[in-house]
Structure 1
């Protein structure tokens, strides 16, 4: 699927489409709660910077994320941008 010029299968292959293509979702699993919390902190700081916030939940070492642009009622470039950043933050936290 192409969204705002982004090929979702190439750009964010670990994310799945939901809500008839209006949202993307991914579950991140870490070694422990500390890594999950570090990931969430990095994501929260970035989300504030771009003024685009995830729908998410955390249970010990797992963070479940859903991204959509509520004001547009669909996926936008901001969702893809945040998803790519979250993928990078997850890799960073898992390497530490």
Structure 2
């Protein structure tokens, strides 16, 4: 199977089941420091930065990825941090798209 960061997201309008806990646990090791919510409906990661400008540069890079993949996270942004949460609202849970985008965001730090 190709690495997640090399795959493109597939449009999702619902009608598919969210990932099972087993499927989530298979994909999670491909990500860096992402956590799964207790209900298994979203993944999140907290990023820290040295100052506002670096935080905003990161936020803009995430926005570019989200638009390229047409899959958008919820973000909480402060002076020196960004909390990113991914879920697929159309299925009320996680899909492979969430993990693809998270893997692409991980590559911003590489």
Q: Report the TM range for the smaller structure's normalisation.
A: 0.7 to 0.9
Unpaired runs of at least 5, structure 2: 1-20
- What does residue 33 of structure 1 align with? 52
- Larger RCO: 1 or 2 (CA < 8 Å, sep 6+): 2
Question: Between Structure 1 and Structure 2, how many residues are aligned?
Answer: 90
Shift of residue 86, structure 1, vs aligned partner? 1.2
For the aligned residues, what is the CA RMSD? Answer: 1.8
Task: Find the counterpart in structure 1 of residue 23 from structure 2.
Answer: 3
Equivalent residues of 2:32, 2:106 under 8 A apart:
no
Runs ≥4 residues deviating over 6 A: none
Distance 2:66 2:35 in 1: 20
Unpaired runs of at least 5, structure 1? none
Between Structure 1 and Structure 2, whose CA radius of gyration is higher? Answer: 2
TM-score (norm 1): 0.84
